[in-house]
Amino acid sequence: MIRINVYAQNKAWLFEDLKHHFRNLSPAGESEIIISDSPLSGADAWVCLRTNEGDASPNLGRTAICVHDLFCDGGMYGPAGSRKSVRNAGALILCHPDQTELLIRQGVAIDGRPVLERPLGALKTFSPREEDSPTFRIGWVGRNHVRKRLDWFTEAVTSFDLPTKEFEVVLIGEGLDGAASILNSIGIRCSYFDRSRYGIAAYPNLYKGLDCLVITSSTEAGPLPLFEALATGLAVVSTPVGWAPHFAQGFPRYVRLANSVNEIKLHLLNLHAEKDAIYSERLMIARLVSEWSLDDWIREVISLARSLAVGSSKPEFAKIQIRG
């Protein structure tokens, strides 16, 4: 049996979730999937989840390296950069079409080796909500990191031109207790679901309690909450990062772009007025991302790794496409 080692250092959040999914969602019987914090010798192929850990692989030619972001500074993909391993990896796993151009500009060869290019998508456990919330519930998901710009979100909701009895805030993630305390102290009802107590298994039901999701990041290649929210049938207000502009171009009613706190606030006011109508369209919203599931991404990554292990010809994968 082919032994595939999926590895990433344990720094919590996304990559620990992905390791958990590989453990639980990989096809039974086709390969032995070994999950570890560092690469293990003796495997037949490797999947490196965190890009800058590729050099640790015992055999780069049989390693598929994931690229999860759109960073391109300081020559990190250059011959001496922290991500130079992508230059010699057996395969690449990309989650956004702009990553191809980013890598080519850095002198990374794309042609001549297998490349899996598609969004990760949401887990299939995310499904359209079944009940409308009694008040307008605004969600924010993530961790309190400078690139996530939590302050944009709190500023938007604290200056929201609505009586506080007509809306609620829901924070889901890590390090958000300070923001939750501030919002509650000024009379804005805020529920905080700390990741240490509410892991990814709880997220589908938490999303179902929302009316919309706000994304305030300065840079993203996904982000996963965008796909999770759409799979739940929620409208999304997002800064123009990752896949948000692609969906906004074809479906501006469901994904609304904002470049400032004031634009976030205006979109939220409109969504509050359209609350019932958006709920009635939840199944249409969910269909926007139905062809991209994280479950299938796991299986395609395993298939890619198997092809490296057995030296098979380049596997064929569907190119990223959002249908209008």
List the domain boundaries for the chain: 2-120+293-310, 136-287
CATH of 2-120+293-310, one of 3.30.230, 3.40.50, 3.30.160, 3.30.70: 3.40.50
Residue 23 has pLDDT above 70, yes or no: yes
CA distance 277 to 44: 52
What pLDDT, on the 0 to 100 scale, is given for residue 320? 46
Q: Tell me the pairing of strands 212-215 and 136-143.
A: parallel
CATH topology match: 2-120+293-310 vs 136-287:
yes
What pLDDT, on the 0 to 100 scale, is given for residue 12? 84
What pLDDT, on the 0 to 100 scale, is given for residue 126? 98
What pLDDT, on the 0 to 100 scale, is given for residue 171? 98
Task: Tell me which H or E stretch contains 308.
Answer: helix 294-310
Query: Do residues 113 and 103 make contact, with C-beta atoms less than 8 angstroms apart?
Result: no
Task: Assign a CATH topology to domain 136-287.
Answer: Rossmann fold (3.40.50)
Closest to 238 (Cα-Cα) out of 222, 257, 224, 212: 257
Residue 322 has pLDDT above 50, yes or no: no
Residue 323 has pLDDT above 60, yes or no: no
For 190, the token pair is: 């805020």
Amino acid at 312: S
Query: pTM (2 decimals)?
Result: 0.94
Mean pLDDT to the nearest integer, 5-21: 94
Lowest-confidence range among 47-51, 73-77, 156-160, 181-185?
73-77
* Sign of the torsion angle spanned by Cα atoms 107, 112, 118, 120: negative
For the chain, give the percent of residues with pLDDT over 90: 85
What pLDDT, on the 0 to 100 scale, is given for residue 200? 94
In tens, the pLDDT along 101-143 reads: 999 988 999 988 999 999 999 999 999 999 998 999 999 999 9
Q: What is the mean pLDDT of the chain?
A: 93
Is the model more confident about 74 or about 321? Answer: 74
* Sign of the torsion angle spanned by Cα atoms 236, 241, 243, 244: positive
Give the CA count within 13 Å in the CB-facing half-sphere of 250.
11
CB under 8 Å to 94, separation ≥6 — which residues? 67, 100, 115, 116, 117, 118
In tens, the pLDDT along 217-269 reads: 999 999 999 999 999 999 999 999 999 999 999 999 999 999 999 999 999 99
CA distance 213 to 140: 6
